[in-house]
Structure 1
Amino acid sequence: MHIEAARPQTPTKIVGIGNTSRQQNEMAEEAAKDFVGLPDGVSHWDVLSLLKRARLAMNITGALISYLEFLMGFTRLQDWQPGSSPIVYLTVSAAASRRGISERQVLNIERALNRLGLLCWHDSGNKRRYGHRSPSGELKEAYGVNLAPLAALYERLLDLVEGQEQRALIWKQEKAGVQIHKRVLRERLTLNPGHAAADQAMSLLKSLPKRVEARVTITQLVQWSQQMKSLIEAFEKPATPDGETTPNGASTQHPGETKTAPLKERKTAFGGKNTSDRSEINFRHINTNNTKQSLSNERSNRRTLPSGNDLKSPLAANAEMALEKRKHGSAAPARNVSTTLRQWHLDFKLDFLSLALVD
């Protein structure tokens, strides 16, 4: 059985609310009258989930959300289908008892939700709340709080949440950009502390907060990123001393000056490249290839040949003559001994022949 959420010809005036809230009350009643059910595949809990995610944008407190969730627990899925209405016929005293609050608090919360356009009332003639269901769970008759205006806000809530998520994503990206630019600018400032933009970079870094809070707007984040990006580009531009080229290609060399070739390109008159100048510090070059070193890594006074073979070095003239004499002296006794032996052998043969002839 279809329960029509009839709109009275003259909206009931809620005490202590005012004309603006009466207009919102009329809009809520209009939404309840045009209710045709939730879209396919969408439940009333999905609507409540969207409302929780968008409650900050709609300025809805947690107490209102909690009471609205309490009321939705008394509805069923068929109440949110076309041909029916999600009406909660729980009395004010029963709601106050279940929630542990006073009846006045219940009425105040319902009026606040009505001002936000989230519910309206389907009243009986005597303003009493009552109703009953069929054995299948379908509402036969119900008078009380009508939650149809909340279902009518589904499309609006969906768009609001999607826009909120998109803004949150952009905010995170801009926050990450600020952190990256901040780190890069600090590195440039550390490497080039004497740069012309160093003072401006230092003042900007000091003005930035240590922690980017959620209350910082996207516009402020973009402004910080642009300022740091311009300073980073200033640090990356090469310096333009005399004789060098500016970024636009114009030379800064003064008239009448000659451009000095780089050190690596300078050559001597013999065609060889010049080496670097002597150091201002007084030190001695040591040729480690031609110099003996002791175990203590000290330079020895004895120099070796370029080949490194100091054992087969040529002897001096006197030493060579003494060696030749030694060789001749050692060979002479050997020749005398051999001559003496041959002489003795010859004498022995002659004596033997003479004895033989005598016999």
Structure 2
Amino acid sequence: MTSDKTALVAGGAGFIGSHLVERLLGEGAKVVVLDNLQTGRLVNLAHLRTKAGLKIVTADVIDDLPPEVSNTRFTHIYNLACAASPPHYQVDPEHTMLTNVVGTRNLLRLAERTGARFLQTSTSEVYGDPEVHPQREEYRGWVSCTGPRACYDEGKRAAEALIFDFDRLGRADVRVVRIFNTYGPRMDPCDGRVVSNVICQAISGNPLTIYGDGSQTRSFCYVDDLVDGIERLMAFEGPQPGPVNLGNPNELTVSDLVERVLALAGSGNEVAYLPLPTDDPRRRKPDISLAASLLGWEPRVDLQAGLEATMSYFQQELSDEATRAAHQQQQPTLAAAE
């Protein structure tokens, strides 16, 4: 396949970003990945390294963009640059905020200069701990601007404000997607998200951790469905539609998720209950009627099939890690024998 698309994917070595890069390359696009590898992993792109049209640039979006990026005339810019799980983005909250604001500004200015269409991956976290359920794009949210999640929540809200100012001033052609909980292969086993946590714990035979009493709800969207929605929004040629929710409206409790994972793993692990983190949302469910009417999009992968694919990935991932660890432990003995 061939394409006249030259795309920049900031955060392209991350979980969602790598799936997007794979899809773009499959469509024949030229792709530049920009990633500081703070949470992205080159292993996510290893199977694509021989693909024609792929360039990987290691740099941070909060800094001046490197020449390999600033001197390229892109047709499309995707901003997925930011740690997305609380344990990761809370490690360096200043960097998280700057990534969302300064990084977004840098990429918007690049889009303005090159005429590229710009797509921002925002988040359901802009709704905070919502008082309106399910969440529609018109809902303004219930966010703590001073809590430990504010660097991410408010950073994404500030990024949206900047993006729509660029739009109003005619400086860039923009699209904004608000992503709800997403899962699938290439999640980092140590990212602290509920799906990766409970699957890895089930595989390893460790107690499954539930924060709070497990009654809080989430709506889990498989990564292939999400990437399809992102591409549909980027390709949308109508008037700029404002933010668009993308997620699976099939709401379930965390306890229900844990039961499904245990049944899938065929294990009887114990469950450990820990305190609910500060400002953790009690309910989360997208209203996707706008995406359905605007893009003809809806999720197609059911939870069972998605969990099976994700568990298979983690089983291989953890097996490979165990093999590498065993090999490293043997090295001193082998060296001494020689």
TM bracket (short chain): under 0.3
Report which structure shows greater RCO (CA 8 Å, sep ≥6): 2
Q: Provide the TM-score with structure 1 as the length reference.
A: 0.23
Q: Which has the larger radius of gyration?
A: 1
**Taking structure 2 as the reference length, what is the TM-score of the superposition?**
0.24
Structure with higher helix content: 1
Task: Give 1 or 2: higher strand fraction.
Answer: 2
